[in-house]
Amino acid sequence: MKKYIFIFFLFSVAAILYLSFPINSKEHFVSIKENKFKLNGKDFYPVVVNYLATLRYDGKELWAGPATSYDADTLHNLLTKGSCLKGLRADLNLIKQMGFNAVRICGIGEEGADDNDRLSKISMMARYGRNQDTTVFLSSDEMYKKYFDALSGLFNEVNNAGLKSIFLVRTRPGVVTTEDHVKKTVTRFRNDTSIMAYDLYNEPLYFDHKERKKSEVNSIVKGWHKMFKMYAPNHLFTIGLEGIREVFEWDPNMLDMDFISLHPYEFEPGQVMNELYWYGNYITKPWIIGETAIPADNDSVTYEEQKQFANKTLKQAYNCGASGYSWWQYKDVDWHTYRANYMGVVTRTGEIKINKDNLQVQGTVKPVAEAFKKFIPFGKKDSCICLSNYYNYSEGKASRIIGHLIDEETEQPIKGGVVLGWDEHWVHSYHTVTKDDGSFEVLGVHPFYHWIATATMYEAVRDDFGPNSSKPGKDNIPTFDLGTLKVKKADL
């Protein structure tokens, strides 16, 4: 009898271990090989829409719901757990119907922390009731369980809609509690195949306020990747860079990530198309567009213009070697600026019936959705287009910076380097890319007072202009001549 009890005990232990630590299978996980994502042995090209989710709290339980910004009528806000999950289900099924195969989830994963306190408390913003926001501190195992249960409900809806997700968190350099928080998160969901990747840090150009050498950034990111891969070996990791201007510190070729996410926007004419050309020629790691869009309300900007922007940037990204493409964002919002308000694929007015479970979404699908529905990312590639204003998007006439960029050791010219100038108060900036002979010309709409120069895999050099140091150049544009700038290879 004791023998059978012992055998039963062994089987029980084995069953518990199997359920707790299942066999490490890569089936249904997204992987990457030779700059292409793979899913179950086939090529997978992520066509992504950024989706905002809100954490809800009733004083006892946490759950996920659609962003309150997506609802035009605050009286219509989804309040109960059941109604929130139904709202997520409706949104995610509509996203799938519009031709997307993945969502980048924002808002519900970006933990709050004090960037200046390495042992900062970790918190989340949550909506309490209809109109009240509250801070929820993740200071106990009980609160973490509630938070992870909320995320589990969200990821379950993503999976049921047939989508993959890129989940945005916010790991801070030097704040070890944020690293511990992300470690807990990736460990908890290490077997969740709905998650394609974690986006560890969004736009350091804007949110990392400390000046850093590339070697320091390289060390930070390498540590993150090594740490999190230990706990979630089947998930991918990325960082969301603003674009070409991150190269001065967060150099895309020096970030030890599975792939790089880039966020080009049309701040200047042709900027997105031009940045895509630079990415395709100078970024050696796998990369995707993590955010891009132009706004359209069918008045100031027509829906047709928005659709054509999506069509041409989808095509340019694919032709220039992107491994995926993401649109910002799912739905229009009311954030008090035209640019932010109307980038959505769906408006906030009208009603859309979803052909599943009697679901509906408040809003109307814009014509831009057709671009994603019809996009086929596996055909023959055409040329990666270089526009005529590639070197100076705005072609300003108020100020000019000229010079040459060379390798400090070999004294050979550097092609594809980036040189940027700022106005007096660091508000407006304009950049250019160095030519075959290392020469550059930056044209600004505002007078230049400060400058910085680098190339990928090189350290940056920077300085200010002295008073009255410009001279009239061609076309009588005040011109600063930096002569020959020597830059040294960055330490790896």
* Residue 17: pLDDT over 80: no
Lookup result for tokens 């990928």: 456
Confirm if 127 and 84 have CB atoms less than 8 A apart. no
Torsion from C-alpha of 355, 360, 362, 363, nearest 10 degrees: 0
Structure token pair of residue 277: 């050309």
* Residue 18: pLDDT over 50: no
Structure token pair of residue 98: 């519009």
Nearest alpha-carbon partner for 331 in 358, 365, 301, 298: 365
How many Å apart are CA 57 and CA 151, to the nearest integer? 13
Confirm if 404 and 415 have CB atoms less than 8 A apart. no
Instruction: For the beta carbon of residue 204, count every other beta carbon within 10 angstroms.
Output: 22
The size of the chain, in residues, is 492
How many Å apart are CA 119 and CA 175, to the nearest integer? 6
* Residue 76: pLDDT over 80: no
* Residue 179: pLDDT over 50: yes
Chain centroid to CA 424: 30
Which residues have CB under 8 Å from 314's CB, separation 6+? 325, 371, 372, 375
Ramachandran assignment for 174, one of left (phi > 0), alpha (psi -120 to 50 degrees), beta (any other): left
At residue 110, what is the residue type? E
Instruction: For the beta carbon of residue 52, count every other beta carbon within 10 angstroms.
Output: 21
Q: How confident is the model at residue 19 (pLDDT cuts 50, 70, 90)?
A: very low
pLDDT at residue 467 in the model: 74
Residue ranges and CATH numbers for the domains of the chain are 30-374 (3.20.20.80), 399-487 (2.60.130.10)
Averaged confidence pLDDT in the chain:
93
pLDDT at residue 466 in the model: 83
pLDDT at residue 220 in the model: 97
% of residues, the chain, pLDDT over 90: 88
Q: What's the average model confidence in pLDDT over 185-209?
A: 97
- pLDDT one-digit tens code per residue, 99-109: 999 999 999 99
- pLDDT one-digit tens code per residue, 423-480: 999 999 999 999 999 999 999 999 999 999 999 999 999 999 987 889 998 889 999 9
Which residues have CB under 8 Å from 121's CB, separation 6+? 113, 114, 137, 139, 177
Which of 127-136, 229-238, 372-381, 472-481 has the highest average model confidence (pLDDT)?
A: 229-238
